[in-house]
Structure formats: structure tokens, C-alpha cells
């Protein structure tokens, strides 16, 4: 998606992929900066190392505890995280309402993606936040962490998901990526009023999304989150606005099904 974006903005630059081992990460980042690169994206297993290597870390990224975007400017390294903002942009685009207006249920809130989603929902001021995880102590720690910025009486902890008082359901687990994965929700609990967002985008239709559509609920996969993580990074490097339409076309054209 980035190279079509660069072309749309008439920028003489190219986005390339580098395979870097963890022990090489620091040297690779400094080599990229010294080579005149504008910045980099980094993914697992480098996100925590990126936090440590940055000279300045955005408060939002510091709150998340990981960095996925580095910006090289004036000889310094600036660390950012576009995961949460990318998710919020995606949700608001897909479902046409501010995140703050939703009562949100997060499946797998104890994992890294779920934690990021919970923090973003809390910072957006969502109407209610329900955290679901197989390991309860993880969501208990997360709820305590959120207490400084989000009302404790609006956080609900569940071992078994019950979307009865929920508008928006987010799957932050990997369940649904493989054939034979178990169902995330009991049959029959989804209703037409629900919005269901699955962070998984491969396969594009998970059992959760299929169940949502069968119930008449609105549903979307995680491709829009991937897009908006990228557009947020693009704007950090080159300034807003990102050429979203060009980047979306590039992303869709790169998919095996296209």
C-alpha cells in the first residue's frame, strides 16, 4: 500500500522490506537512519526493541508499551505506535459511528492485540468496555491499568463472552485463522444490532464473521485496520493527509484473491 501512496503524492521514494534478526535490530535501525531513510515500520519481534532505541517516544506509544513506527528527523529517532489509532479509524469507517458511542466487548483482551484495543477504546471514551479472556488474571491487571483514565464501573470482566449489553464486538484472538478452530461465541447470541470486527484478515471470512452476517449483524475483517495503521505511519513520515484511496487500492491488489 505504501508505494502506491508514494506515487499518488509524487514522492521520489520507495518502501522496501528488510528481514532483520533481533540481535541485528539496533545496528539496522542506525544504518537505515544514516542511509537517509525517512523512517521504518517494525513488527514482531522488534516492537519493544524499537521503544528502547527511540530518542523520543510519543506518549501514546509509551502507554502501549511498544513502537511500530520510527521516524528519522534532524538526527534523532522518534517512536510511535499506529496500532490503536489504526484500529479506531477502521472501526469508525466500517461502522459509521464514533468509537465513544459504542459498548465494546473485546475477545482475547489479555493478549497484546487485545490490550492495545482495550487501551484505545478506553482513551476514546467508549460507553462501556467488556474484557473477555481465558486467563482472568490478565484482564484483571488490564482493568487495574485502565483505572487511571477510564471509570472502573464501566469495565466488565467476563470468562465466557456475553454480548447482551454490547454494540461492538472485537476479536483480538487468532481463533478463526485455521480450519477447525472453535467458535468464539455461543450460537444464537448475535443480533442484527451488533457490529462485529475481526482483526483477522486472512482468511477474509472467519466463522465469527460468517455467524455475524448470518444473524444480520454488520461485520468487517481486519484489512481496514491494516490499511489505517499504514496511513497513520505515512502521515508521520510525510505529513497529512495520506492518499487513502491509492493505498487501499494497492493493498487490495496485493491480496491473493484479487
The residues annotated as belonging to the active site are 47
**Nearest Cα residue to 3 out of 206, 170, 247:** 247
**Are 204 and 177 contacting, i.e. CB atoms less than 8 angstroms apart?**
no
| Residue 165, all three cell numbers | 449489553
CA gap 233, 186 in Å, rounded: 37
CA gap 67, 52 in Å, rounded: 9
CA 20 from centroid of its chain's CA atoms:
22
| Residue 53, all three cell numbers | 532505541
The DSSP call for residue 173 is S
CA gap 64, 17 in Å, rounded: 25
CA gap 65, 47 in Å, rounded: 9
**How many angstroms separate the first and last alpha carbons of the chain?**
14
Give the three-class secondary structure for 131: strand
**Nearest Cα residue to 105 out of 185, 170, 13, 27:** 170
Amino acid at each position: 500500500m505504501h508505494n502506491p501512496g508514494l506515487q499518488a503524492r509524487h514522492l521520489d521514494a520507495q518502501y522496501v522490506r528488510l528481514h532483520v534478526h533481533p540481535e541485528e535490530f539496533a545496528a539496522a535501525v542506525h544504518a537505515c537512519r544514516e542511509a537517509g531513510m525517512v523512517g521504518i515500520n517494525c513488527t514482531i519481534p522488534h516492537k519493544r526493541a524499537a521503544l528502547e532505541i527511540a530518542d523520543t517516544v510519543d506518549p501514546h506509544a509509551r502507554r502501549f508499551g511498544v513502537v511500530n513506527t520510527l521516524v528519522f528527523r534532524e538526527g534523532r529517532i522518534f517512536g510511535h505506535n499506529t496500532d490503536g489509532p489504526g484500529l479506531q479509524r477502521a472501526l469508525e469507517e466500517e461502522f459509521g459511528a464514533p468509537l465513544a458511542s459504542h459498548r465494546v466487548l473485546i475477545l482475547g483482551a489479555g493478549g497484546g492485540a487485545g490490550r492495545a484495543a482495550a487501551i484505545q477504546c478506553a482513551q476514546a471514551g467508549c460507553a462501556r468496555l467488556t474484557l473477555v479472556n481465558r486467563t482472568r488474571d490478565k484482564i484483571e491487571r488490564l482493568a487495574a491499568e485502565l483505572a487511571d483514565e477510564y471509570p472502573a464501573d464501566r469495565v466488565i470482566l467476563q470468562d465466557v463472552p456475553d454480548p447482551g449489553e454490547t454494540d461492538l464486538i472485537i476479536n483480538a484472538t487468532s481463533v478463526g485463522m485455521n480450519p477447525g478452530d472453535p467458535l468464539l461465541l455461543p450460537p444464537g447470541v448475535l443480533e442484527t444490532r451488533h457490529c462485529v470486527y475481526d482483526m483477522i484478515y486472512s482468511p477474509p471470512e472467519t466463522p465469527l464473521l460468517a455467524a455475524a452476517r448470518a444473524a444480520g449483524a454488520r461485520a468487517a475483517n481486519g484489512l481496514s485496520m491494516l490499511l489505517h495503521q499504514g496511513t497513520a505511519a505515512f502521515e508521520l513520515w510525510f505529513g497529512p493527509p495520506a492518499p487513502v484511496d491509492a493505498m487501499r487500492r494497492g493493498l487490495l491488489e496485493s491480496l491473493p484473491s484479487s
